[in-house]
Amino acid sequence: MTKRLYIETVGCQMNVLDSELVVGSLRRHGYELTHEVTEADVILFNTCSVRQHAEEKIYSALGRLRSHKQRHPSKIVGVLGCMAQKDQELVRKRAPHVDIVCGTGQLSRLPELIAEVERTGLPQLALSLDRAEASRPEVEQSFESYDPLRDPSMRPSPFQAYVRIMIGCDKFCTYCIVPSVRGPEQSRHPEHIAAEVRQLADEGCKEITLLGQTVNSYKYDSGDGRRLRLSELLGRIHDTTGIERIKFITNFPKDMTDDLLDAVRELPKVCPYLHVPAQSGCNDVLKRMKRLYTAEYYRDMLARCRENVPGVAVSSDFIVGFCGETEESFQRSCDLVREAGFKNSFIFKYSPRPGTKADDLYPDDVAEEVKKRRNNDLLAIQNAVSLQDHRARIGQIVEVLVEGPSKAALKRDSGSGLVQLTGRTMTDHIVVFEGNERLVGQTVEVMVQEATAFTLFGTVVTEKRVGFLPDGHRSSDRDGQPGKKTDRVALPVI
């Protein structure tokens, strides 16, 4: 009989990709995916440990499962990923009904671990080495890159996929748990990446997002003294037939080199969109965070991005309420957000992480209410900036890769046969418009007519699809063509 698998994922894109790969691998071992936890034979939680809140969510979900597991002891419960690597045996102390604890670097062993629980009934722990416990090569080996065959059904959409180009992180920002739970930075072989991109394109994928904690630090030493960087990797995969868009996240400000910016400008399929977290606008805070740059350096880097890649959209992350952040240092972050023109920013309240340098060295001395207030204030400033950026796009024609019905469309039916669709531009702006559902997966041109801080609203211009010709050139221009320059009419596509 087919066995059923339930998987819940929290955290970043890396976790979404890991879950896709886990499902792909377990399907090949006869498992079928279910969205009902009570129907599943194997229940997995792929976890995040970047902030405490993400961990609490998982421990509560595990708590809710306890009586279900008592009633059905043969069901297998597994905790995977970052929290598994961080908490190790503590997971079973807090939730003794967990059968499997499996870290990010050991996911390939999951089928074997499940079989072992079935055979012995005993709990199984699969963890990578602590970075301080062994030599770098040994630790690297214990964090293997997990990139088996893919499972299209687990992707954000069938025509969009993540591709891991590196694992781990060597930056050791003082607040961050990632270098311990995802291990040393290791870049994947460019040929393996290129082969995966070809395979995804053959399966109908049009947009790929290259993933790395500091994706622009990608470097592969070929052994003959040559070092391949992200700019060259982009060049290698650019002409893959079928691929129309290439994005890459997340960038580290110090590694934003000119050769990379030149590649973004010169390669038409590479999206002019850069996610480059600043974290703070205050030099004292940046120093305590060990971000390795100053606010002035960040501003210069931003100017270089805008100069080298005209029309580039930049987004950022900020942490508010980090240890020792005074009202004045917080104001420096506000200044940066006011000036930088970010498309959007993700703003987080500092969450102390046991095992990080900041947790050892500095007291968590900003009160929770202050963190909350700073979070809201910074968000309000960013929203005003985003609204301005969005309003400036009214009247432009943008290329939108249609992702599916909007959230609102899922709730209501306009009765016109058209649905409200949503998609993204090359600059990662979200666009909502009416159209036929058959446009999902297509790239269409939309005239922007209205804007909020989060969304552009528009009308499809023509039925003409935008794409790439076999020679790698675009069949249409890039985003942001002013509407008046064309003779196209705005018609809803049916």
Binding site for ligand SF4 (CB under 6 A): 169, 171-173, 176, 178-179, 213-214, 252
Residue 415 has phi, psi (to 5 degrees) of 80, -5
Q: Which residues, including other chains, have CB under 8 Å from residue 60's CB and lie 6 or more apart?
A: none
Q: How far is the CB of 170 from ligand SF4 (least distance, A)?
A: 8
Report whether 159 contacts 141 (CB < 8 A): no
Q: Closest approach of Cβ 240 to ligand SF4, in Å?
A: 28
Is the C-alpha dihedral spanning 346, 350, 351, 356 positive or negative?
Answer: positive
Q: Verify binding: residue 182, ligand SAM, rule CB under 6 A.
A: no
Q: Which of 371, 375, 170 is nearest to 290 (CA)?
A: 170
Greatest C-alpha distance within the chain: 71
Q: Identify what 426 binds: ligand SF4, ligand SAM, none; CB under 5 to 8 Å per kind.
A: none
Stretch that binds ligand SAM, among 175-183, 232-240, 328-336, 484-492 (CB under 6 A): 175-183
Q: Cite the beta strand spans of 96-226 per DSSP E.
A: 100-102, 124-126, 160-164, 166-167, 186-187, 207-211, 219-221
- DSSP bridge pairs for 246: 208, 270
HEC-encoded secondary structure of 400-448: EEEEEECHHHHHCCCCCCCEEEEEECCCCCEEEEEECHHHCCCEEEEEE
CB 56 → ligand SF4: shortest distance, Å?
Answer: 20
Report how far residue 159's alpha carbon sits from residue 205's, in angstroms, rounded to the nearest whole number. 4
- Cβ proximity to ligand SF4: between 266 and 317 the closer is 317
Residue 351 interacting partner from ligand SAM, ligand SF4, none (CB closer than 5 to 8 Å by kind): ligand SAM
- In the list 22, 23, 40, 50, the residue contacting ligand SAM (rule: CB under 6 A) is 50
Q: How far is the CB of 328 from ligand SF4 (least distance, A)?
A: 24
Q: What are phi and psi of 14, to 5 degrees?
A: -60, -40
* Interface size with ligand SAM, residues (CB under 6 A): 18
Q: Residues 334 to 373: which contact ligand SAM by CB under 6 A?
A: 348, 350-351, 353
Conformation bin of residue 89: beta by default, left when phi > 0, alpha when psi is -120 to 50: alpha
Cα Rg for the chain, rounded, in angstroms?
23
Q: Is 214 in the site for ligand SAM (CB under 6 A)?
A: yes
Q: Which CB atom, from 284 or from 477, has the smaller least distance to ligand SAM?
A: 284
Extract the tokens encoding 341: 């023109």
Give the residue with the Cβ less far from ligand SAM, 128 or 351.
Answer: 351
Q: Exposure of 161 by Cβ count < 10 A (0-12 exposed, 13-18 middle, 19+ buried)?
A: buried
- Classify residue 468 by its DSSP letter: B
Candidate ranges 66-74, 151-159, 173-181, 484-492; the one touching ligand SAM (CB under 6 A): 173-181
Contact stretch for ligand SAM (CB under 6 A) within 114-122, 130-138, 171-179, 477-485: 171-179
For residue 275, the minimal CB distance to ligand SAM (Å) is 8
Q: Residue 51: which of ligand SAM, ligand SF4, none does it interact with, CB under 5 to 8 A by kind? A: ligand SAM
3-state helix, strand, coil in the chain (%, to 5): 40, 25, 35
> CB-wise, 353 or 429, nearer to ligand SAM?
353
Nearer to ligand SAM, 166 or 432 (CB): 166
Q: Given the complex with ligand SAM, which of 229 and 390 has the nearer CB atom?
A: 229
| Interaction between residue 319 and ligand SAM (CB under 6 A) | yes
Instruction: Kindly tell me which of 5 and 176 has the beta carbon lying closer to ligand SF4.
Output: 176
CA distance 468 to 395: 25
Strand-pair category, 419-424 with 430-435 = antiparallel
In the list 178, 233, 282, 334, the residue contacting ligand SAM (rule: CB under 6 A) is 178
For residue 99, give both structure tokens: 């059968």
Nearer to ligand SF4, 168 or 268 (CB): 168
Task: Provide the mask over 251-270, with x wherever binding to ligand SAM is found by CB under 6 A and - wherever it is not.
Answer: -x------------------
From ligand SF4, ligand SAM, none, which one binds at residue 172 (CB under 5 to 8 Å depending on kind)? ligand SF4
By CB under 6 A, name the binding residues for ligand SAM.
Answer: 12, 50-51, 175-176, 178, 213-214, 250, 252, 277, 279, 317, 319, 348, 350-351, 353
